[in-house]
Structure formats: structure tokens, C-alpha cells
Structure 1
């Protein structure tokens, strides 16, 4: 039986799709391509026109903002467990001609632990990321970071306040794993030429991260079945 949380997310998606007044398979195809590949909205408009589907690039953007965050929440409930040794780092994302910060963590196998887009790069933002990640995956045994003072302070304050036992390591070499993983996200966002506002950026990045996790095999499929990344993405909607 599906959990109540998944049922609620699926009911939200049904309401969203009903308001968009377009075939679901067309909308899901467009938002999957947008989240999976380095394509601009105008690229998608041209590609759909070649398939006999007339859709404006602004409409595709609206679909992405409405649909992708719902699918991202469904994946959080169906995600495979991650390891207990985390590598955490942040990267830059351009929003409204300003640089914002995408906090990300992977385990030692390169599986995504969590992500969080923030307006600032400070102790409060880093701690909010760690608390979100721990809330979803429980307390890790180790957290590896670079020598960022804000990240160090966030982990130490969290340990002091909660009494959890976490080994903190500061190693640029060990953190190469998460820094390399940033590239997959940046490669998809680059053709987007920056986001217009923080609200849209957070929603679309959630979709990009969702597709990235699916490609890494992090979606728990029912009965151990083997499905393509596209099939797994569409399964989040049904």
C-alpha cells in the first residue's frame, strides 16, 4: 500500500496537471528533457515543433516550475538509503544576475544525499542544509568538508546542541567526489543562462537533482524491476 505522503503528492500532481490543460505525456516528456539534458527552453520548443506539437517555450517553463518539484518530493519518499559517510560542498548558481549557493552532499559511492539552494553562504545556511539532510537520512558517521569556516561551525554547533556523534573531516582531496558531482548539475543549468528568480530556480534545480539521482540508480523500483531512467522518471507521476 502506498504511504499517505506519496498519495498526497500524487493528488497534488493531478490538481496541477488538470489546471495546465495539456496531455500529460507531452508535459512529462518536455520537463524530463529539460531536467535531464543541456537544453534551453527554445531548444525544446523547436524539438516539439519537429514532432508536430506546437508549444511555446514559456509554457514549457511553466510546466517545469509546476511539475518538477512535485516529482522531486515523490522521489524523496522512494529514494534508496545512502551511506553514512558524507562529502559536502557548495557551488554557485546564478539567479537574477546574482550568485546564490547550492549546498550538496554525496556519500562515498557518489550517491546524492541531499541538496539545498540558499541565498547566502553562511553558518545558518550550512546548518539548515545539514538538518534537512539528517532529517531525511538519519545521522551520518562522518562528514567531510573543505576548510570553510561556516561549514565547520555548522557541524560543530549541531553536534554540540544535539549531542550526536559525528566525525568531522576537512579534506580537499576527499571532497573531490562531490566537487566532480557538481559538474553534472552545472552542465544542465548552463544553457538556461541563469534563473530569473529564486523561487523558480529552487523548483527547477529540484527537478534536475531528481533526474540526476535517477540516473545514478537511487530510485527504489518495485519488485526489483529494471527500468530505464525515462521510465523511472515517469513512474514518479503515476
Structure 2
């Protein structure tokens, strides 16, 4: 295993394992000690990683409060604070979101329905662009402070790159920026319909 500090391949495995069963190493180049988890998002986390992922999943899926999650696991004998839950969510939610985006590649249909709505996020009003395909599968979402040509183009560019699908038909509301944004980002062969 390469050293995460100096990237040297000259390392030796040390005796024993960490509390969670990870192999331990020492770098001959820089002399630093590390384990298999060093340099990852879960480095120095004292709770087993399957518990951490379960906590983050429940937090995102069921909208449980930080304190409720800590209390639920305390009853089961696993001790951590609500601030640990906040930290794990901040570290892992972007990684989970990126993993889900990668899983959508190539799975969207070729007929998209695009719409935007105005909502408040963290006390600030913004536009949420979203697209679904004919089977109601999510294509992509995009937050923007504005509802203009640049936002529409950025959203369509993102949707195409996430799904790696070129749509045949895009149905939108009658907003004026969509026809040009669709032509510029998706091509002139795409059938644009308004509802």
C-alpha cells in the first residue's frame, strides 16, 4: 500500500490491526504510520463504518433529527453525539449524491419533462429546475438564483452529462429561454414541446 502522506510505495505492514480491523502500515520514506482508512472521509471515526452509513442514510431518507438519531443508537449501545451525525452527514452526503448521479448514467428515457419551481433554501429564494422522463424517473435537478437563459443552459448541460442520454423530445412550460437553451445544449434535432 502506498503512503498517503509522501506517496512512497516503500511501506511495511505492522503487527496487529486497528480496533475496527484495518491493517496498519509504516512508511520507510517519511517514517509516518497509517492504516487502510488514512486519508479517507472516515479517517479517525471511532464508530464502525456500516453504522456511520446507516446513520447518514436514515438522516437523509427519513429526515430524522440529529439528536433523535444519536438517541436511537444510544438505546442500542452505540454512543456518539448529535454533532458527530452532523459531521458524518457533511462528509458523506456529497459522496452519496455523486454515487447516485453516476448510477443514473444511461438509464433515463429519451422523452424529458422539464419544469422549474421557486422555493426557499436556507432562507434564500431560488429556482429548482428538475427533469423527469416519461416513466417518472429523475433525470436531474439544478438550483439557480435566477430563471434565465444561463440557468436553463446549465441545467440542460448537467442533465445530459449526468445521464449520458441525448433526448429525442423535451416538454417544457412556455418559458422563453427554453427553445434556445435546448437548441444550444441538446441540438436542433430535439423535438421541443410546450405544455
Q: TM-score, normalised by structure 2?
A: 0.69
Q: Is the 8 A contact 2:152 2:178 kept in 1?
A: yes
Higher share of residues assigned helix: 1
Aligned to 2:165: 138
Aligned equivalent of 1:104, options 105, 112, 130: 130
CA root-mean-square deviation: 2.7
Aligned: 1:170 with 2:191: no
Aligned equivalent of 1:58, options 83, 104, 127: 83
Aligned to 1:71: 96
Q: Is the 8 A contact 1:89 1:146 kept in 2?
A: yes
Aligned equivalent of 1:46, options 38, 48, 71: 71
Cα distance, 1:93 vs structure 2: 4.5
**SS of alignment partner, residue 143 of structure 1:** strand
Q: Is the 8 A contact 1:127 1:155 kept in 2?
A: no
Name structure 2 gaps, 5 residues minimum: 1-35
Larger Cα Rg: Structure 1 or Structure 2?
2
Aligned: 1:30 with 2:55: yes
Task: Measure, in 2, the Cα distance between the counterparts of 1:127 and 1:12.
Answer: 40
Aligned equivalent of 1:83, options 109, 112, 119: 109
Task: Measure, in 2, the Cα distance between the counterparts of 1:47 and 1:12.
Answer: 26
Aligned to 1:119: 145
Higher share of residues assigned strand: 2
Cα distance, 1:65 vs structure 2: 1.7
The alignment covers a number of residue pairs equal to: 158
Aligned to 1:185: none
**SS of alignment partner, residue 192 of structure 2:** strand
Task: Measure, in 2, the Cα distance between the counterparts of 1:30 and 1:116.
Answer: 26
Q: Is the 8 A contact 1:13 1:67 kept in 2?
A: no
Q: Which structure 2 residues correspond to residues 178-189 of structure 1 after superposition, within 5 A?
A: none
Name structure 1 gaps, 5 residues minimum: 1-10, 172-238
Higher relative contact order at CA 8 Å, sep ≥6: structure 1 or structure 2?
A: 1
Cα distance, 1:54 vs structure 2: 2.6
Q: Is the 8 A contact 2:111 2:133 kept in 1?
A: yes
Q: Is the 8 A contact 1:91 1:102 kept in 2?
A: yes
Q: TM-score, normalised by structure 1?
A: 0.58
Q: Is the 8 A contact 2:182 2:190 kept in 1?
A: no
The structure-2 alpha-carbon separation of the partners of 1:107 and 1:161, relative to structure 1 and needing over 3 Å to count, comes to closer
